[in-house]
Structure 1
Amino acid sequence: MTALLRYQTDLLLRSQRWLAPLLLYAVFLGVGVRAGEPVLGALGYASAALLPVTAWVVRICLNQEPPAARTVVAAAAGRERAHLAAVLAAVACAALLGTVAVLGVTAVSDLRGVGPVAAGAAGLLAATVCVLIGAAVGALCTRPLLPAPGWSLAALVLASLLALVTSGSPAKYAVTALITGSRTATVHLPWLACAGALAVSAAAVALACRATAWRE
């Protein structure tokens, strides 16, 4: 699996397809986060923006190989393992981006009675939730379940939006906890949302990996 992860990560970095979601995320932060704003609200915005970006990166990783190369890798390592490696490589890259964003936002925002360690921990947990839900969205909204590029992209955008606004969504719960805490200067660590996001992501990725074994 380590070799597959390195292979998928190297493909992503060399293709420079990561540049578009990175720039999108930078635009989100540049428009929505200002120095001196309440830290928890800023972290909530940064975490929410990470969800569609993660879904996009997962979609990129799952479609970046040429068909011939995909067939060779699948023959050598198995379709399910190859598919899982692509998702994990995307999640690792998105998690790194989220960590850097949380640390940066915490450094430039107004703590307003909130400890930097507590704020950073809450931000990292919320970012983790959004990365996991974004991975689930990305895995379900592309090959092999939705191979058509147009429908795949439309479903990804819609599912990302619904994941952020639907009641009961772990991502909405985590982001709302930060925004609510910003008004009262109270830190809520979204452990329950993190556990729920992990379960949802694991189920979605397992379904996508299983589907690739009998649909491709």
Structure 2
Amino acid sequence: MSLSLAGRLPSEVAIVGGNGQIARALAALLAEDGGRVRSIIRSEAQADALRELGAEPVVCDIETASADEIANAFGDAEAVVFAAGAGPGSGEARKWTVDRGGAIKSADAALLSGAMRFLQISFIGAEQQAPAGGDPVFAAYWDAKREADEYLRSVALDWTIVKPGGLTNEPATGRGTVSVSTMERGGKTRRADVAHVIRLALAHQGTVWRDLSVVEGGTPLDEAIDHALAEAQKAL
């Protein structure tokens, strides 16, 4: 599946959290485009599978590494995609050290390395406060992601925040609904389609300094992004 790009993809992209499902799908897409991919991972045990996708694995634990060390891991990448997360089964503490701390250090590292294009995966509604009375671990995740997004918006990077709905594992459709405005929670988004949105956003200058919410829908994703950006221009 090849969706039309609005511009040039960065020649080299570093993907933080390179062993995640979205990250692996994105690495394969970018490699198919002929780009170089540096997949930042915690363990050498994950490396061979990433090489098979066409990526160069780089071991760097963002939870314990400094921003300088993460910058070194980025190498000559022009762009960074933050796709890391503490994941299911982790407690409150790791939501702060990975989902917030790792994201903030990665943004700082991008500034240090000169990788000025930065895309971060968040979720629809992250800008709001976590609902009261819910699961404390999920509340910590919500708060950590909101603060990570707020930090990214404050730094001098060409950022985009990609905000899917509830993630599912069905095959990519290449279609969806995209908005730069706040969406209601409750929609679903296929992980494989999130990878397509990130690829398209990397090449689209109009997505810089934007939040892109994406859920399932019937419009080709390249057209859905163009439509969302056009609607945002009309609203100015």
Q: TM-score, normalised by structure 1?
A: 0.32
Q: Choose between structure 1 and 2 for higher RCO, CA contacts under 8 A separated by at least 6 residues.
A: 1
- Greater fraction helix: 1
Which has the larger strand fraction?
2
